[in-house]
Structure 1
């Protein structure tokens, strides 16, 4: 009984993290059966911890110390050592319950290191490679939980969804990334091709050239969302709503940016509560 109560406390710790940081994901995945929902919460908590290792430390040295600490903990976890922390205890239950793969957890940490040693992506391939490590890897982590009964390999579909979501993040946060982090995630070669320069971006100029680059990435994201949707029937019946709702809500951010005149500099683009309810209702039907 004590062990069961302890596990519940550990998963509750992870649940609070997703609840605090992503209300839309929480709403979608909280509708999973309890054990699956708890597993998703634990994976989200790991990814959030990795992300915070970079975002909550200002200097590269502090960021590296934090990510090295998390890497060391993951190494110990992979070797079967017990780590006295709610996150790792919860993940231990997840790995005991599902046929988990440790590799995408390491890939996630590699993505965070790419952020620490950031250099602007030159090509679209560079953007997608980065997007795999920070987000496509999450799709692979979740796969044993949400596609446990599939007769087909859904790995590419799960990765496509993660990459599409990360491209959406990039397109939503162009202004914030530059203003707060001094970073440009749009491919430099594409910006040069259309004649849009860094000064224009720094001055939040929304020109035809900027829209062409933005739409180039958005169209790629749309293709990846469609690739994922083509596999939705392969995911576990009890998990289809959660992944479909998450995908459609996130995809709706692209529509929001377009409706706001491609202003991803001064405006915070998001799916309104009313629109989210409509999307979720469509996902159920």
Structure 2
């Protein structure tokens, strides 16, 4: 049975974070009203782990979600009033464990989007000139260009400047922050999927070496990995994986991108800038 203190905490969270829904919930019959307070608070507690992590690393977020999962399923004791209340409601209303698992898995998926975003951002910084010619688009964030004194008109003319180079470097560093986040999640994948995803991360990240070698000029030419280089990276990744099945250690060794560092607080990709 849900205790008064647990219900009070659930209602407080509901009232503070979902005012409109809270108002409507008060109109529900008592037999479902209290359970609704608890359900809303539980979803909010889990959601905040992903949407408002503060300084928490992706690893810390995953650990917190694992704790929430176990407490919600009644597999571990908790002093969190909302989680305790949810466990009671789950049993009372017969909420299937599978539904709880699916919800927490969805939260984990949100955390693990970093690697896909890193791949996309690598494409953006590598293909600046190509995207202008082939797609009439600039995918570098306008905020980043402006912050470094670059402008879309210069890019449209495919003229490279130091300011544009600074903007490309900034976005590339942001991508490397995303790689750090994403690679930490590889170990949570099925065992037979880990090496392929790790190899993809290494191959994408190696484009950063080429971009740096060009002085960040991806406006006048598009750097690309040769077949021999790709084969060598695949072989090196597999070799190090055989000796150390730690994705983070292998990625740092083969890609050259340090796993120590923070994700840059830069603007997101946003919408592409049309050329006309």
TM-score (norm 1): 0.44
More helix by share: 1
Higher Rg of the two aligned structures: 2
